[in-house]
Amino acid sequence: TAGKGSSSTEMEERPFNQVKMNQVKLRCPVKHGDIKNLSLGDLVFLDGVLFTGREGAYRRYLDEGHDPPAPFHDLSNVNFHCSPAATPLKEGGFSIKAVTGTASFRFGKWMPRWFEQTGCRLIIGKGGMTSKDYRSLFVPHGAVYLTTVGYGLGATYGRGVKSVREVHWLEELGIAQAIWVLEVENLGPFIVESDLEGRSLFELSNQEINRNLLELYQGLPEPVLKRYGESTDRRDEVL
């Protein structure tokens, strides 16, 4: 079950590293009440049905105007930016043993139309998007972003894939870019990177880190090679 989210006031009053993180299980497709209770940094595991889709599918559907292979609203409202390692089975169908998330920041230009035409409420990928995208695109559509955890967890995520329900545009886009409709169980862990207020876990973490960096630089001795550009000012560029 999802824990109650922290309010903006609570986040501002407490140091970021003291905010409680929860472990959450969500059922896909997700309901508004499910994601409403998510807090930044929560670990999320997913059950149910979701679909993959990244730049190839976005471009084919939104830019080139191809009709969707199936109404996206009927598939799920959970979209995973990823590349599944799919292997054809002799008896038909596919087996997926690994899933690798792909960087979502590249897809911002498609998200306004994507949200409007698909009704997606949960976007999953690697590394997050910009806080501007969260505020201007995700918030108006009641959507949040989950990020994969580090590198090398493809097999871990693959264990959460129970079966492949459907695959669309495989011939046109190839395995990595096709739309895979997956039934999953305990798929995760994912980290809540944005919430319904448009806040970003990574942005808040960076602010906390940067706040302490100035103190570290102030304690450094005078640079030996100052005349050659060595500096203790963190605002200086390193060439």
Q: What pLDDT, on a 0 to 100 scale, did the predictor assign at position 106? A: 94
Alpha-carbon distance values, 108 to 56, 94, 210 (Å): 14, 30, 26
> 3-state class of 25 per DSSP?
strand
Q: What pLDDT, on a 0 to 100 scale, did the predictor assign at position 11? A: 47
Q: What pLDDT, on a 0 to 100 scale, did the predictor assign at position 238? A: 56
Percentages of the chain per state (helix, strand, coil), in multiples of 5: 35, 30, 35
| Spatial CA neighbour of 203 closest among 147, 122, 155 | 147
Tell me: the pLDDT tens digits for 33-82?
999 999 999 999 999 999 999 999 999 999 999 999 889 999 999 999 99
Pairing of the two strands 179-192 and 161-168: antiparallel
CA–CA dist 197, 190 (Å, integer): 19
CA–CA dist 117, 73 (Å, integer): 9
Tell me: the pLDDT tens digits for 153-195?
999 999 999 999 999 999 999 999 999 999 999 999 999 999 9
Q: Evaluate whether 108 touches 128 at the Cβ level (below 8 Å).
A: no
